[in-house]
Amino acid sequence: MLTADEILEKFNEYLDGLPYDREPKGLYEPVKYVLSMGGKRIRPSLMLMAYNMYKDDPESILPSACAIETYHNYTLLHDDLMDNARMRRGKQTVHVKWNANTAILSGDSMLVLAYRHFLECRPDKLKPVLDLFTETALEIGEGQQYDMDFETRTDVTESEYIEMIRLKTSVLLACALKIGALLADAPAEDADNLYKFGEQMGLAFQLQDDCLDVYGDPSVFGKAVGGDILCNKKTYMLINAFNRADDAQRAELTRWVTAKDFDPKEKIAAVTAIYDKVGIRKVAEEKIEYYFAQSRKYLAKVNLPDERKAVLAAYTDKMMTREN
């Protein structure tokens, strides 16, 4: 079996070697630019690891791994445009470096390229792979729409939020793992348990992201803290703060959420202070641990010796050890 680092190296070599020789250059240069930005390559790594648990030639499914990464970056490209984000991974976003129309069109092309990469998988696996991927892509769009809808709502519940992040984040991790299993001829029950493992893992990962946005160390977390607070994002933290606050605290939270003019540092400090008073960090960490434990139950059900699951288990452990 390959190590996680070896899998990542093989994937990056394959991705870097892909030709973009179609015309016009103005359509494909942004695609190459986005895919060259780097990133953790979590989704293709998960797919290749899942496959490698059953078979020792993960190189044979590199096109499918490339498909999932191309699709993921397509969603980021459009997210950046919708959020009017100017930077990603330390570089200008596509709509800034080029323009909004290019971002839309090149993003659309990335979606088509993802399907094209999947067409290279084994013919007998093509329908189940595309069925799963297409359903996943629809769910991710639904999650994005829920996230947008939540921006104008003040009554978002915890269960609604969990379902939104399941759709927006978790299902693609789950999809990557299950496709890896499908392509490796894994038993159907194993493939389903790997899907559920990824789903629960994704919930834990996103909730941890919410927590780190408030309490993380910027030098470790990789971005400034407080971004969700500044844009009033309906996160697990904010939703539960409103639920647990007393009348005075709820009034202060409402004042900060509705404020048009404010000092960013003051707002972050004030909202974080309310989170501290109502114990939101502990609540969030307990929920993260719950979903992480649930994910491990599903991984344990995968009918393989522990040594075949060790690389995937260690990799996902590392995903969850981003320091505060």
Residue 321 has pLDDT above 90, yes or no: no
Least confident segment among 65-69, 155-159, 281-285, 318-322:
318-322
Among positive and negative, which fits the CA dihedral 125, 137, 48, 288?
negative
Residue 154 has pLDDT above 90, yes or no: no
Which pLDDT value is given to residue 323? 56
Average pLDDT over residues 55-61: 98
pLDDT tens digits, residue range 167-201? 999 999 999 999 999 999 999 999 999 999 999 99
Average pLDDT over residues 10-19: 96
Which pLDDT value is given to residue 9? 97
> Which residues neighbour 251 within 8 Å (Cβ) at sequence distance 6 or greater?
none
Closest Cα to residue 176, out of 79, 78, 289, 72? Answer: 72
Which pLDDT value is given to residue 271? 98
Average pLDDT over residues 67-83: 95
**pTM of the shown model:** 0.96
Q: Tell me if 49 sits within 8 A of 7, measured CB to CB.
A: yes
Average pLDDT, the chain: 95
Among positive and negative, which fits the CA dihedral 309, 315, 317, 320?
negative
pLDDT tens digits, residue range 206-243? 999 999 999 998 877 666 789 999 999 999 999 999 99
1-121 and 125-324: identical CATH topology: yes
Q: Could you tell me the fold of the domain covering 1-121?
A: Farnesyl Diphosphate Synthase (1.10.600)
Phi-psi region of 279 (alpha: psi -120 to 50; beta: other; left: phi over 0): left
Q: Residue ranges of the domains in the chain?
A: 1-121, 125-324
Average pLDDT over residues 39-51: 97
Average pLDDT over residues 78-102: 93
Q: Which residue has the higher pLDDT, 217 or 286?
A: 286
Least confident segment among 21-35, 134-148, 266-280, 310-324:
310-324
Which pLDDT value is given to residue 217? 85
Pick the CATH number of 125-324 from 3.30.1330.90, 1.10.10.10, 1.10.600.10, 1.20.1630.10: 1.10.600.10
Rg (Cα) of the chain, in Å, rounded?
20
